[in-house]
């Protein structure tokens, strides 16, 4: 079978995207962010963990691996002439050669509770299966950790393919978006795809749901099985992370485009019935999980124990309006930090967040181009069903995601918590809403296309988009270079630098 140029293009981009994520994952040490808690949750789920009211401590097996293979480079700076050196067990990872100080280090973890264990369970369930496959293949220790990370690399290639299919399904006449969305996904520097965290799979599942919804919206006569599959994909997306609950907006948009014209059609009963199946398929798994939390953990979200452990308390509603989000400085900090974290991520290195001169670009150009495209949509008189669905879903997902983080920031006094804190009471983690990445790129690149049309009808927006993508890739790769020299990653281990 001969492949078309478009198919060859997307296959090459998908493979390149997977290899890029795999390379950077292998170059990154453990454990940034709260990755150690997610790793422990994966091990617990692989062992058949059942939810329990008190938060569990970390398993001894998890703590042992965390202490053996973690890098201090994320939150500490090495003293001059005294670089960080891995434990001897890196070279001889066996029970017979564990360092004597390991027992004391493990004891420090005793009071620590796994505050992530009661989060939405889909990610841990998927990774637990991947974990068992890795153990069956004989992986352990450091190799098992990187095996778990490799799932994100595989998923990212699928994600790029699904994004291309979604854009082609909805914007069939827009070659620019069909080319540039995959290219920007190839170079997009968000580091959450490199870690063992639930958000690493959010984008692929959200895009799968968008694609399935687009298919039924474009051709409502499709089988009820496809409607059900779209609903289940939305449910799985929501059960990956609380930040993905905005997928409910996509369900509502799809239902609107399906039901509104159905009343004028003789077959409206069939279409409405299939739409109900879709909505039930989306709601039942999420509802079942919420009820399970209420019965077992005593609260609907399952997060009460986490809030208590982190010293979060709910403020009186009368105090919510005094949140610094309602000041210019607070709102600017929220948007600027969220924009940077959405593009790049929030990993610390050497006890400092990674920043660059390009950071204001992430905020102001994103606001400008997305705003231009929204105005263009509002002024456009006619558009196909697929285009209208994608436009509406993209705008609502981006707007809903930002409002979700704002609303989540307001009710809590964050006590002694480091992030969010009383000094900075904002949820600005771009990874929490990274499921909206494809809708964001549609607005961003769509706005770029409109602006190029304003400048000159002969200006091909590709001539602007490709250098822009290259610039982002170069800047972010330069920021990542210091991490490549770490003696705590798999590449150093294989080259023997960790053992010298």
The HSE-up count of residue 375 (CA atoms within 13 Å, CB side) is 10
- Higher-confidence residue of 95 and 445: namely 445
Q: Are residues 107 and 215 in the same domain?
A: no
In a domain, 429, yes or no: no
In a domain, 174, yes or no: yes
pLDDT bin (cut points 50, 70, 90) of residue 53 is: confident
Q: Which of the listed residues 309, 329, 359 is the one where a domain comes to its end?
A: 309
Highest mean pLDDT among 106-110, 157-161, 190-194, 419-423: 157-161
Q: Are residues 137 and 250 in the same domain?
A: no
* pLDDT at 455 exceeding the cut of 70: yes
* pLDDT at 86 exceeding the cut of 80: no
The mean predicted confidence, pLDDT, of the chain is: 91
pLDDT bin (cut points 50, 70, 90) of residue 1 is: low
Tokens representing 60?
A: 């001894």
In a domain, 197, yes or no: no
Please name which of 402, 393, 330, 392 lies closest in space to residue 366, comparing C-alpha atoms. Answer: 402
Per-residue model confidence (pLDDT) at position 370: 96
* pLDDT at 311 exceeding the cut of 90: yes
Q: Are residues 92 and 162 in the same domain?
A: yes
Q: Which of the listed residues 309, 329, 344 is the one where a domain comes to its end?
A: 309
CA 145 to chain centre: 19
Q: Are residues 160 and 225 in the same domain?
A: no
Tokens representing 219?
A: 């051709």
In a domain, 284, yes or no: yes
Q: Are residues 33 and 158 in the same domain?
A: yes
Q: Are residues 5 and 126 in the same domain?
A: yes
CB contact at 8 A, 140 and 69 = no
Tokens representing 248?
A: 């409910």
Alpha carbon distances (Å) from 221 to 226, 233, 268: 10, 19, 10
* pLDDT at 275 exceeding the cut of 90: yes
CB contact at 8 A, 159 and 50 = no
Q: Are residues 134 and 254 in the same domain?
A: no
pLDDT digits (tens, 9 = 90+) for 64-79: 888 888 888 898 887 7
The average pLDDT across 456-479 equals 92
Q: Which residues contact 472 (CB under 8 A, 6 or more apart)?
A: 187, 188, 189, 343, 358
The average pLDDT across 161-169 equals 97
- Higher-confidence residue of 117 and 356: namely 117
In a domain, 26, yes or no: yes
* pLDDT at 95 exceeding the cut of 60: no
DSSP state of 326: G
Q: Are residues 206 and 165 in the same domain?
A: no
**Host domain of residue 43:** 1-182+485-500
CA 79 to chain centre: 34
Q: Which residues contact 87 (CB under 8 A, 6 or more apart)?
A: 68, 99, 102
Sign of torsion over alpha carbons 26, 30, 32, 38:
positive
The average pLDDT across 170-194 equals 95
Q: Are residues 25 and 146 in the same domain?
A: yes
* pLDDT at 145 exceeding the cut of 60: yes
pLDDT digits (tens, 9 = 90+) for 8-22: 999 999 999 999 999
pLDDT digits (tens, 9 = 90+) for 135-144: 999 998 889 9
Q: Are residues 215 and 149 in the same domain?
A: no
- Higher-confidence residue of 99 and 22: namely 22
DSSP state of 314: E
Q: What is the rounded distance in angstroms from the CA atom of residue 174 to the CA atom of residue 442?
A: 11
The average pLDDT across 409-432 equals 94
- Higher-confidence residue of 100 and 274: namely 274
The average pLDDT across 97-105 equals 66
In a domain, 461, yes or no: no
Per-residue model confidence (pLDDT) at position 239: 97
pTM above the 0.85 mark?
yes
> Beta-carbon neighbour count of residue 455 at 10 Å?
10
Q: Which of the listed residues 275, 309, 343 is the one where a domain comes to its end?
A: 309
Per-residue model confidence (pLDDT) at position 323: 94
Per-residue model confidence (pLDDT) at position 290: 96
* pLDDT at 267 exceeding the cut of 60: no
Q: Which residues contact 296 (CB under 8 A, 6 or more apart)?
A: 51, 52, 53
Per-residue model confidence (pLDDT) at position 100: 64
CB contact at 8 A, 21 and 194 = yes
pLDDT bin (cut points 50, 70, 90) of residue 54 is: confident
Please name which of 397, 52, 77, 387 lies closest in space to residue 209, comparing C-alpha atoms. Answer: 397
Torsion of CA 387, 462, 375, 363, to 10 degrees: 120
Q: Which residues contact 400 (CB under 8 A, 6 or more apart)?
A: 246, 249
Per-residue model confidence (pLDDT) at position 353: 86
Q: How many domains are there within the chain?
A: 2
The average pLDDT across 213-229 equals 95
Q: Are residues 178 and 216 in the same domain?
A: no
The average pLDDT across 184-203 equals 95
CB contact at 8 A, 498 and 482 = no
The average pLDDT across 44-48 equals 94
pLDDT bin (cut points 50, 70, 90) of residue 263 is: low
In a domain, 109, yes or no: yes
The HSE-up count of residue 445 (CA atoms within 13 Å, CB side) is 29
Q: Are residues 216 and 137 in the same domain?
A: no
The reply to whether omega before 225 is within 30° of 0 (cis) is no
In a domain, 415, yes or no: no
pLDDT digits (tens, 9 = 90+) for 323-375: 999 999 999 999 999 999 999 999 888 888 888 888 899 999 999 999 999 99
Per-residue model confidence (pLDDT) at position 137: 94
Per-residue model confidence (pLDDT) at position 499: 60
Tokens 């304003």, located at residue: 454
* pLDDT at 389 exceeding the cut of 70: yes
Sign of torsion over alpha carbons 50, 53, 57, 58:
positive
């Amino acid at each position: 079978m001969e492949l078309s140029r478009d198919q060859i293009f997307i296959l090459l981009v998908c493979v390149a995207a997977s290899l890029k994520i795999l390379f950077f994952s292998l170059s990154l040490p453990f454990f940034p962010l709260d990755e150690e808690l997610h790793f422990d949750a994966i091990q617990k789920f692989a062992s058949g963990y059942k939810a329990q009211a008190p938060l569990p401590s970390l398993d001894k097996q998890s703590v042992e691996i965390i202490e053996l293979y973690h890098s201090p480079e994320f939150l500490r700076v090495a003293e001059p002439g005294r670089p960080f050196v891995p434990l001897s067990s890196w070279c001889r990872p066996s029970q017979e050669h564990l360092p004597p100080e390991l027992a004391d280090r493990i004891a420090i973890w005793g009071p620590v509770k796994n505050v992530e264990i009661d989060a939405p369970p889909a990610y841990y369930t998927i990774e637990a299966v991947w974990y068992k496959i890795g153990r069956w293949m004989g992986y352990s220790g450091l190799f098992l950790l990187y095996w778990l990370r490799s799932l994100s690399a595989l998923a990212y290639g699928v994600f790029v393919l699904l994004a291309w299919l979604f854009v082609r399904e909805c914007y069939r006449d827009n070659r620019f978006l069909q080319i540039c969305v995959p290219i920007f996904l190839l170079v997009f520097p968000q580091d959450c795809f490199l870690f063992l965290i639930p958000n690493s799979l959010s984008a692929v599942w959200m895009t799968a749901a968008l694609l399935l919804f687009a298919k039924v919206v474009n051709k409502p006569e499709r089988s009820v099985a496809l409607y059900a599959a779209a609903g289940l994909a939305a449910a799985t997306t929501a059960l990956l992370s609380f930040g993905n609950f905005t997928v409910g907006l996509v369900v509502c948009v799809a239902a609107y485009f399906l039901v509104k014209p159905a009343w004028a059609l003789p077959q409206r009963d069939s279409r409405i019935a299939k739409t109900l199946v879709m909505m039930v398929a989306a709601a039942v798994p999420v509802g079942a999980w919420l009820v399970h939390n209420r019965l077992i953990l005593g609260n609907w979200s399952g997060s009460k124990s986490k809030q208590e452990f982190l010293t979060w308390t709910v403020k009186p509603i009368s105090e919510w309006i005094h949140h610094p989000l309602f000041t210019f400085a607070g709102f600017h900090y929220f948007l600027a930090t969220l924009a940077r974290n959405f593009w790049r991520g929030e990993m610390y290195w050497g006890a400092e967040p990674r920043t660059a001169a390009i950071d204001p670009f992430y905020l102001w150009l994103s606001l400008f181009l997305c705003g231009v495209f929204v105005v263009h949509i509002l002024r456009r008189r006619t558009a196909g069903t697929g285009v209208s669905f994608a436009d509406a879903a993209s705008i609502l997902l981006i707007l809903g995601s930002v409002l979700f983080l704002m609303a989540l920031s307001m009710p809590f006094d964050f006590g002694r918590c480091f992030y969010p804190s009383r000094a900075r009471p904002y949820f600005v983690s771009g990874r929490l809403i990274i499921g909206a990445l494809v809708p964001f790129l549609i607005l961003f690149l769509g706005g770029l296309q409109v602006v190029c049309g304003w400048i000159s009808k002969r200006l091909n927006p590709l001539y602007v988009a490709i250098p822009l993508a290259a610039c982002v890739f170069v800047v972010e790769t330069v920021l990542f270079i210091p991490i490549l020299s770490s003696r705590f990653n798999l590449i150093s281990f294989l080259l023997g630098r960790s053992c010298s």
